[in-house]
Structure 1
Amino acid sequence: MRLNEDPAAFEAFYRRHIDPVMRFVVRRVTDPHLAADLTADIFLAAMDSARTYRSDRGSETAWLYGIARNVVNAQFRRSVREAQVTSRVEGRRLMDEDDLERMEERIDAERQMRGALEAMKGLPEGERAVLELVAVDQLSVAEAAGALGIRRVTARVRLHRARRALQDVASPSAVFMEERA
């Protein structure tokens, strides 16, 4: 079968089988929208697997009903999984106003951090490394200098340059402006 290659062949195939396939589906599904979706899925699956059809193993109708059975059964399995997930969550407190407020604060903080990290990409490697260690990883300047194998004075100079460069960029996060001793 060349359903996926020949639009006329697919149209003829569809017209021959749409009514029986729709009857098959509506006997198993009560929602008309779901029935229409599943019927469309069945014909899409038939197009995708048309090259595997072998007439010596049965009629095209039997082959199509096998596809229909698989599509409908897959939908039932999805419905059961969704119902199980819903039942696990039912009756539980998901999020109250305080939780939502804290979540919004975290999102805002992360948005600022992403902007600041993006601005850091434009810094020279040495300045960015010191700034990352001090501002993101919360090391002291002395610890950052030790981690990078540079003198403390060099780390302070690089940190100062990085902060000055970031001040020229649209309001970086205050985290990058703080310094631990």
Structure 2
Amino acid sequence: MGRPPPLTDPDRFTAFYRAHVEAVLRFVTRRVEDPHLAADITADVFYAVMQSAASYRPQRGEEIAWLYGIARNQISNHARQHAREAVRRQRLAGRRLLDDQDIERLEERIDASRAARQLYRRLQQLPEAERAVLELVAVDGLPVSAAAALGIRPGTARVRLYRARRALRADTGPAPSQEPLWEMT
């Protein structure tokens, strides 16, 4: 964590990608149902990483928190610009098409993440600031200190996390899996 990800060297970027692609893909598939979209957003995350590697500051948090912040932005951008993105993606040439095995593997991941997506839908009722902290801590398993990915201080994150947990307990009862939301991984 001591220095920015060394993404100018292709071999080091490959190692960085391999070290983090599974975590990013899990993050995305908990929020997206379409396997093509999950693959596209994951690719967009690492493209954004290459473009913004110089902005990574180790003192603000771990690499995975930085990646999750980028992934959240990519998912939000897609939601806001769905129609324009669909047209742009159709115009792109030279992208690798997913074969049947790729689709099958992504569908398996999506099926495996179905319960998490149901929980995520419940989270949509929370205020955005509280939901973002709860997602990073409870869903993605990062410490409260990773709040830097959201641009807030750990103390602020603790307050928002408390409010989110309290709201979920009061409004929705136990999570569909019968485990409290903050204990799910």
Q: Which of structures 1 and 2 has the larger relative contact order (alpha carbons within 8 angstroms, sep 6+)?
A: 2
TM-score tier by shorter-chain length is 0.3 to 0.5
TM-score (norm 1): 0.43
Structure showing greater Rg: 1
Normalised to the residue count of structure 2, the TM-score between the two structures is: 0.42
